[in-house]
Structure 1
Amino acid sequence: MNNLQPSDLSLLPILEALIAERHISRAAIRLNRSQPAVSHALARLRDLFNDPLLVRGEGGLQPTARALQLVEPLGEALALIRSLVDQPTFDAERCDRHFRLSMSDYGATILLPTLVSQVRQMAPQMNLSIVSYGRERAIAALMDGEIDLAVGVYPVLKQPGGRDLRSALLFEDSFACLFDAEQEGTPISLEHYLTRPHVRVAVALHDDSEVDDALARLGHKRRIAVQVPHWSAAPDLVRGTDLILTAARRSLDHIVPGNLRCSPLPFQLGSFPFVQTWHRRRERDAAHGWLRDAVANAATSRLGT
């Protein structure tokens, strides 16, 4: 790195925004600066780090390897600086931050109506963007600073790679089977469970499944006939077919029964934790902390947990 002047410290939030947005105009809007000012700052940053940092690629600017190396230490340094200069009392009404959250449509159905209502009433200047990433991508996005919060089921948090992440339990849920009663009686047996085709819900093709892991431990394997990324679409695929859907019980509460029936799993599988998780660099971020509290309150209000 070339000689860093005290005035250059003001460039670091610009670098953070550029890496996150990967577009000069969007970064300028995020920072409330002019596009020429951000372009000039990028030129100075390239000189300081002796690296292009962002280069043109498919879909816009792409960070270089050096820029990606800077994401974590940059985020931690800026979070610390912001925690030092933040006012002692956080004013939600004046907070104009833009937060990016990852959650499936299952989580969105449960949490978003109450969460958005809270944000509109208490933090009307705050903006939220919701994406639906698979488990591995969501964790990677948290680590890279691409998103601010991930809501869902993340077994990886128990692994060594999750040491930089923090999480808080929102509620516990369990699995149940949904099937068409004209095709099968209630409760469903393990024999029929294994011989029938299944619908599997997974955002990413290779996301781990607690159900398949539990069956593998018992020496069994089910046939996945259809895989879809959305919980909300899955129940209608079961109606009038021989398919079985194994899903979170809460996601089945709103189903119009008709011939559809719900049954306990025909094998042992414990409940699972539904959590919100974030990178430790956000730990002292007052606005981020307010948002986490709002997510927890939404879960409590909706489910009474």
Structure 2
Amino acid sequence: MREIHNVDLNLVRVFVAVLEERGVTRAAERLHLTQSAISHALARLRETLGDELFIRGPDGMYPTPRALELAQTFKPALQQIEGAIAGNAFNPETSDMSFVVSTSDFLTATVIPDLLARIRRLAPSAGCWLRPLSELNITEELDRGALHVAIGVFGKTPSRFVREPLFSDQSAWLMRRDHPAAAGPFGLHALAAFPHVDILISDQRQPAGDATIEQGGLERAYITSNPRYIEGLLGAEGLVRKAGATVSHILAVPALLAATDMIAYVPLQFARRAARSLDLVWRDPPYHAPPFEISMLSHRTMGAHPAVVWLRQALMESAERYHREI
């Protein structure tokens, strides 16, 4: 029989991190440890439990049947232990919490700098891991506690999550200043005459060009424009939409537009910032385009932890400051 005194809590934390991240490198980043420390901890745990636990595969580390069995007990037990130790108090001045936030590169460049400044000022020992919104299954990451907050454009939301609005914005068509469509009437014929840059907010394959995608009951934005809607508008006039490029990073778009005759549908505040840094202009869409809302998503249960409550409040304040300045 294996003795419990041979297993310390840190080994369990490493086990859960490797299980969820499917790799030593990502687990090390999440726990702020070296890869060597993770590997050493795994070796100790393997020796203690008498099982290989993880097998290296082409896409990461795969748990053995024994590891999957242990996960059913280890994961909820670890959450309960951490919750009991944390209690109801959170002291940002002394906390070494590692916050995990998922969002787009645009928000990383606008709202997040103020958030990180707040964390450095108020919680100097805490850290923040920023994960790309486009690469994650948000519902899975929130459900298993690997993600504290996601920031983006969300629609229908399962009841186990809390969606809190941060700010709203309009959208505009961005192009270079000397573009043929930059002056004069801007209508559907202009939209059909020039190729569009499509900006994906999710890397998940979406066949029909819809503007949203559903993951585990959560509706989230898939692309900045609504290709199917625009194609319908153009089709009614006998026109055809042209896709000139597809990118996953909105911050790359201004340079692409400055060098070509392509146009892109982007948030208005992004268009204004881009116009200040490059020789670009924007035009209002020649069709009804309601504003969209940037929201913060957290798990109803795990998001109520005092540390996550503090993070959510800090994000609210950073978003408010950003919105005041634009």
Give the TM-score, by structure 2 length: 0.74
**Superposition pairs for residues 114-263 of structure 1, below 5 Å?**
114-134=114-134, 137-155=137-155, 158=156, 162-180=158-176, 181-184=178-181, 185-203=183-201, 204=203, 206=205, 208-209=222-223, 210-215=225-230, 218=233, 220=235, 222-239=241-258, 241-256=260-275, 260-263=280-283
Where 2:186 maps in the other structure, the secondary structure is: coil
Classify 1:68/1:41 alpha carbon distance in 2 versus 1 (closer, same or farther; 3 Å).
Answer: closer
Q: Partners of 1:61 and 1:255 in 2: how far apart?
A: 41
Amino acid at match of 1:23: V
- Tell me the alpha carbon deviations over residues 234-255 of structure 1, each in whole angstroms, 9 at most, x when there is no partner: 0122225321110011112212
Q: Which region of structure 1 is more displaced relative to structure 2, 273-282 or 37-46?
A: 37-46
Amino acid at match of 1:182: H
Aligned to 2:214: none
Where 1:301 maps in the other structure, the secondary structure is: helix
Aligned residues: 296
Q: What is the RMSD computed on CA atoms of the aligned residues?
A: 3.7
Q: Partners of 2:174 and 2:312 in 1: how far apart?
A: 32
User: Does 1:40 find its partner at 2:39?
Assistant: no
Amino acid at match of 2:308: H
Q: Structure 1 residue 263: deviation in Å? A: 1.1
Q: Structure 1 residue 77: deviation in Å? A: 5.2
Structure 1: segments with no counterpart, 5+ residues:
none
Checking the alignment, whether the CA contact within 8 Å between 2:148 and 2:303 is kept in structure 1 is: no
Q: Partners of 2:103 and 2:95 in 1: how far apart?
A: 23
Where 2:273 maps in the other structure, the secondary structure is: coil
Checking the alignment, whether the CA contact within 8 Å between 1:177 and 1:265 is kept in structure 2 is: yes
Where 1:90 maps in the other structure, the secondary structure is: coil
Q: Structure 1 residue 14: deviation in Å? A: 4.1
| Residue identity (%) | 23
User: Does 1:23 find its partner at 2:42?
Assistant: no
**Superposition pairs for residues 255-274 of structure 1, below 5 Å?**
255-256=274-275, 260-274=280-294
Q: Structure 1 residue 70: deviation in Å? A: 7.9
Amino acid at match of 1:293: Q
Q: Partners of 2:258 and 2:32 in 1: how far apart?
A: 49
Amino acid at match of 1:40: R
Q: Structure 1 residue 297: deviation in Å? A: 1.2
Checking the alignment, whether the CA contact within 8 Å between 2:151 and 2:295 is kept in structure 1 is: yes
Give the TM-score, by structure 1 length: 0.79
Aligned to 2:215: none
Aligned to 1:283: 303
Q: Partners of 1:89 and 1:199 in 2: how far apart?
A: 47
Q: Partners of 1:144 and 1:6 in 2: how far apart?
A: 27
Checking the alignment, whether the CA contact within 8 Å between 2:6 and 2:48 is kept in structure 1 is: no
Checking the alignment, whether the CA contact within 8 Å between 2:142 and 2:148 is kept in structure 1 is: yes
Q: Structure 1 residue 175: deviation in Å? A: 1.1
Q: Partners of 2:304 and 2:24 in 1: how far apart?
A: 28
- Tell me the alpha carbon deviations over residues 25-60 of structure 1, each in whole angstroms, 9 at most, x when there is no partner: 836938xx786554333455576xxxx642222365
Q: Structure 1 residue 226: deviation in Å? A: 0.9
Structure 2: segments with no counterpart, 5+ residues:
207-221
Q: Partners of 2:180 and 2:323 in 1: how far apart?
A: 32
Where 1:303 maps in the other structure, the secondary structure is: helix
Checking the alignment, whether the CA contact within 8 Å between 2:88 and 2:306 is kept in structure 1 is: no
Classify 1:68/1:294 alpha carbon distance in 2 versus 1 (closer, same or farther; 3 Å).
Answer: farther
Where 1:304 maps in the other structure, the secondary structure is: helix
Q: Which region of structure 1 is more displaced relative to structure 2, 138-147 or 278-287?
A: 138-147
Q: Partners of 1:71 and 1:228 in 2: how far apart?
A: 37
Checking the alignment, whether the CA contact within 8 Å between 1:138 and 1:150 is kept in structure 2 is: yes
Classify 1:72/1:239 alpha carbon distance in 2 versus 1 (closer, same or farther; 3 Å).
Answer: farther
Aligned to 2:211: none
